[in-house]
Amino acid sequence: MKRQGLTRRAFLTTASATLGAVAVPSAGVPQELGAPRRAYGERSPFEESVRFFPESITPASSYSRTPLQDLFGIITPSALHYEVHHSGVPEIDPRLHEVMIHGLVDRPLIFTMDDLHRLPSVSKIHFLECAGNSGGEQIGRPARDPQRSHGLLSCSEWTGVPLRILFEQVGLKPSAKWIVAEGADAGRLARSIPLEKALDDVLVAYGQSGEALRPEQGYPVRLIVPGWEGNVNIKWLGRVQVVDQPYMTAYETGHYTDLMPDGKARQFTFVMEAKSVITRPAGGQELTGPGFYEITGLAWSGRGRITQAEVSADGGKSWQVAQLNEPILPKAVTRFRFPWWWDGKETSLQSRCTDETDYLQPAREELVAVRGLNATDHYNGIKVWYVHKDGKVSHEQG
């Protein structure tokens, strides 16, 4: 199977050899000493996978997508983590940054980053997924590769202080029912979150896969709201207000609400439901001929652990159980794989998953029958890739 960058990589190898650069022919052993040490690592120059984003006249209010088809395992490299911003990426000096907790509390407090680093911490692996991820699939505009269809999904190890511990420091009043979390970005993006969830598993996170958060992911500190739509995971966290009602901010009324066929819109649809996608072989890739291929992909659920992933290589007529790679963690991405022999004929590949609540990922048609075509957020239908006779894999039936 050809990975997308292969042609260009082959070209680079040739070009480098011609120019007498450090690259060596793949069959050879270097005759010269290699490169010296470096203080902050970079990937091999042969690796070119990047985030994708379209041109925009409002680049500070836009997104970039993770190249899921190029990733291994379950952790997204921080440099490839998807982004959605509404007022750009602020540059925040952590020495000046503070998080204020106030509202229906006994002792409103302001925490510095040093305070947060000193408090008891945990590390948890969780996915983040934009509510709008793969929304184009719902309205019948399937995207051509995993990055473009499902790339508003990433998974990292997050380190920080449970929000519950910060609430223990300020003391909650009995009238507390919701919180409003607010970013320190230019637009001070704010979302209301029920106190029940805030006390359950929400983190005030400063670490991302072993180092400080990337600026695009909320440096120096953000909320992680496990399993819930990306937008409530407030980045650049500056303020948490404890309140008695949802504050009905723009992103929980005008946006991220799902308009149903009866004209009513669903609100506070926080959980990202069980979903999966085959990342190899997938659209944009090419099978080099009949024979063995390992099908692999990702499954995740905002309600807990993935208990089963299944693959169909015959247009959904039969489903086979795929192997789940360890670790299988709640509200995290789980990688599945399945051995497959391609006979050289036209076919299709699709996956579906089940989570620990026994919820089974639905087909697009089943979902659309209930939710119609006016809503495009929180879509979790099955994604189908079509394998053509020439080995090309695409999002379109031949």
Partner 1 sequence: MNKARVFILCATIAVVTAAFAQAPTYKLGRPATAEEIRKRDISVAPDGAGLPAGHGTVTQGRRDYQTLCANCHGDRGEGMLQYPALVGGQGTLRSKNAVKTVGSYWPYATTVWDYIHRTMPYARPGSLTPNETYAVTAFILFLNGIVDEKAELNEKTLPRVKMPNREGFVGDPRPDVLTGKVDK
Residues 284-313 touching partner 1, rule: CB under 8 A, are: 308, 310
Residues 41-80 touching partner 1, rule: CB under 8 A, are: 56-58, 61
Q: Which stretch binds partner 1 (CB under 8 A): 3-11, 14-22, 241-249, 386-394?
A: 241-249
Q: Which stretch binds partner 1 (CB under 8 A): 8-16, 31-39, 71-79, 176-184?
A: 176-184
Nearer to partner 1, 61 or 325 (CB): 61
- Cβ 147 to partner 1 shortest distance, Å: 21
Nearer to partner 1, 3 or 188 (CB): 188
- Cβ 270 to partner 1 shortest distance, Å: 7
Nearer to partner 1, 183 or 283 (CB): 183
Among 65, 85, 239, 275, binds partner 1 (CB under 8 A): 239
For position 94 contacting partner 1 by CB under 8 A, the verdict is no
Nearer to partner 1, 179 or 282 (CB): 179
Residues 265-284 touching partner 1, rule: CB under 8 A, are: 265-271, 273
Nearer to partner 1, 267 or 325 (CB): 267
Q: Which stretch binds partner 1 (CB under 8 A): 25-33, 38-46, 185-193, 209-217?
A: 185-193
Among 214, 304, 359, 388, binds partner 1 (CB under 8 A): 359
For position 199 contacting partner 1 by CB under 8 A, the verdict is yes
CA-atom Rg of the chain in angstroms: 23
Nearer to partner 1, 4 or 62 (CB): 62
Among 46, 169, 348, 392, binds partner 1 (CB under 8 A): 169
Query: Binding residues for partner 1, how many (CB under 8 A)?
Result: 81
Task: Give the integer Cα–Cα distance in Å for 361 and 319.
Answer: 13
Residues 108-127 touching partner 1, rule: CB under 8 A, are: 108-112, 115, 118-119
For position 262 contacting partner 1 by CB under 8 A, the verdict is yes
For position 245 contacting partner 1 by CB under 8 A, the verdict is yes
Q: Convert the chain into a string of H (helix), E (strand) and C (coil).
A: CECCCHHHHHHHHHHHHHHCCCCCCCCCCCCCCCCCCCCCCCCCCCCCCCCECCCCCCCCCCEEECCHHHCCCCCCCHHHCCEECCCCCCCCCCCCCEEEEEECECCCEEEEHHHHHHCCCEEEEEEEECCCCCHHHHCCCCCCCHHHHHCCEEEEEEEEEEHHHHHHHHCECCCCCEEEEEECCCCCCEEEEEHHHHHHCCEEEEEECCEECCHHHCCCCEEECCCECHHHCCCCEEEEEEECCCCCCHHHCCCCCEECCCCCEECCCCECCCEEEEEECCCCCECCCCEEEEEEEEEECCCCCEEEEEEECCCCCCCEECEECCCCCCCCCEEEEEEEEECCCCEEEEEEEEECCCCECCCHHHHHHHHCCCCCCCCCCCCEEEECCCCEEECCCC
For position 254 contacting partner 1 by CB under 8 A, the verdict is yes
90 upstream amide cis, omega within 30 of 0: no
Among 80, 125, 180, 204, binds partner 1 (CB under 8 A): 180
Residues 314-353 touching partner 1, rule: CB under 8 A, are: 319
